[in-house]
Each structure stands twice: as C-alpha cells, then as structure tokens.
Amino acid sequence: MTKRTLFIAVILLFSMLVNAKVIEQNSVKSKILNRNVSYSVYFPKGYDSDLRSYPVIYLLHGYKDDQTTWINNGNIAWYADAAIEAGKIPPVIIIMPDAGVSMYVNSFDGKNNYEDFFIKEFMPTVENLYRIKQNKYSRGITGHSMGGWGCLLYALKYPDLFIATAPMSAGIHDDKDIVTYDDQKWETVFGSIFGSNIKGTERLNEYWYKNSILKIVEEKTQAELQKVKIRISCGDQDYLLKGSLLLHFALNEKNVNHQLRVKEGAHTWSFWRSDITDVLEFITCNF
C-alpha cells in the first residue's frame, strides 16, 4: 500500500466516524428508586452537526452486566456505525441503562421498582434531554438474556410505546422452571424480586405472574399482541433456548405474526455480536 493510498484510507475512515460518539457515563436522578441510575448513549454521525430528531432503540443488558457492557463486550458503536454506513439502518440513537440485577421489574416488596422508573422517569428524561422522536413508531427495544426478558416485558405491557422488540437469548421461564428452581439459586437470582424463602408452587404468586412472559402472552388477545412487531433469536446450544421456543409456540397459538431465528451459537457474546446487526435492521425497518 502506497503512502497516498494509506492516507486516503485513513481520511475515509475518519469521515465515516466523525461525529459518531458514545457517552459511556451519564445518569438520571430517580425519585422512584431514590438513587442515580447510570446509562450510556450511542449517537450516530451527524447528531452534533444538525438539528433533526432521531429514532431511538433501548438496548438492555444481561444479568450482572451494566450500562457499559454493550459498548465494551458488544462493540455496539462499531456495529451501529457499520450498519448505518452500509445503508442497512437509518441513523438512530441507542440508549443503554444500568438495571443491576433487577430483572427490569418492580420488586415484590416495592424496594426496587425498576419498571416504574424506566417507564415513568427514565424514558421521559432521556427523550427530552436528547433530540429523540417521541412516538411509538420511532421507538424500539431489545436486549439479551435478562435484557431479553426486560425488552419483551416492556413491549408486551406497553405496546403503545414501542413499535418493535427483538429479544436475544431471552430469560424466559415457564411455571415448571420456577417451581423446580434450585432453592439457593432462587434466593440469589429471584428472591429479592419475586419473594424470598419461598419454595415450589409458592413461587407462582401474583408477582411472578405479573412478569411471566408466557402468562402475559396467554392473557392478551391476538389484536393486543400484534401491536408490537416481535423477533425472537437464540443460539441452538443456548441453555435458554427452551424459553424462546415456548414463546414462539405461544405466539403461534394466538396466530401472532413474528420472527424466530435459531442460529448456531450458545449463551455468549460471539452469538449476540453476530445477531445485533439483524436485530437493528428488524427494529428500524418497522420505523
């Protein structure tokens, strides 16, 4: 490669990335949670140089991750930049909130009402802070693992807020899973969310059923479920594959149009990175 060719390549690369940026740390002061909640934002090229508003995708992290995980492990800025430059998706803002291990729900004891925070405080705050199109048809939500559960939960509960959702390797469980869950693991993962020191069928309480993806689908009508476009993806070696298939069957039972993608892979970042461009395309094609 000549010096001239190298120089041109560097200039082209710079022109692709100029004005694209990520704020890795910002926060919302929450009255509901009584604490500051951190979040990260991806801004597309052009955000700082024009005055137009942009559609938004909320990207939810997995269990024990945080608002930086999709930046550091998922390389989301690179994938979004590449998809925009290739014309696969329109310029879009991507927002990644920290949810801790909340499962994105309101806890049974009211001590950690993350769902209320997200819907009533977080979304209105960031959408007023940044130039975001504030309507259902310009708003999508996705996530992996715990975040897959979360994005489904919000899309199904609040279909007038989101046009599309695309859970990856979602943490979907049926009643049998919950009843037979290891006691120690229950306390660690679900105890603070759905109730501590409960076993067997005691776990099938109102807090569980309010947030069970399969129960929500069962209780909604076909018309209600079709308000949001749904794409389900999971790796063929993922230990959570059963949940994605159960959701697929439940939606089929209601004659709800949706996409299911089972591809080679496990519950790993290599799978989620390989899937994220398709996820972004699916969501934005419905804008």
**Per-run averaged pLDDT (10 residues), the chain, 287 residues:** 48 49 88 98 94 98 97 97 98 98 97 98 98 98 99 98 99 97 94 95 96 98 98 99 99 98 98 99 99
pLDDT number for residue 72:
96
State residue 183 phi and psi, 5-degree precision: -60, -45
SS3 226: coil
Q: Where are the domains of the chain?
A: 19-173+212-284
Name the one residue in this structure whose structure tokens are 């970042």: 269
| pLDDT confidence of residue 22 | 82
Query: What fold characterizes domain 19-173+212-284?
Result: Rossmann fold (3.40.50)
Contact assessment for residue 208 and residue 173, using Cβ atoms and an 8 Å cutoff: no
Q: Report whether 205 contacts 164 (CB < 8 A).
A: no
Q: What gap in Å lies between CA 18 and CA 98, rounded to an integer?
A: 27
- Among residues 259, 64, 40, the alpha carbon closest in space to that of 145 is found at 64
Pairing mode, strands 35-43 and 164-168: unpaired
**For residue 49, how many C-alpha atoms fall within 13 Å in the half-sphere facing its CB?**
7
Q: Are residues 261 and 232 in contact, defined by beta-carbon separation less than 8 angstroms?
A: yes
pLDDT of residue 8: 41
Nearest to 74, CA basis, from 61, 93, 58, 56? 61
pLDDT one-digit tens code per residue, 203-235: 999 999 999 999 999 999 999 999 999 999 999
Task: Provide the pLDDT for residue 176.
Answer: 96
Of the candidates 192, 188, 194, which has an alpha carbon nearest to the alpha carbon of residue 211?
194
pLDDT digits (tens, 9 = 90+) for 131-165: 999 999 999 999 999 999 999 999 999 999 999 99
For position 14, what pLDDT does the model report? Answer: 47
Q: Model's pTM, two decimal places? A: 0.93
Asked if 136 contacts 163 with a C-beta cutoff of 8 angstroms, the reply is: yes
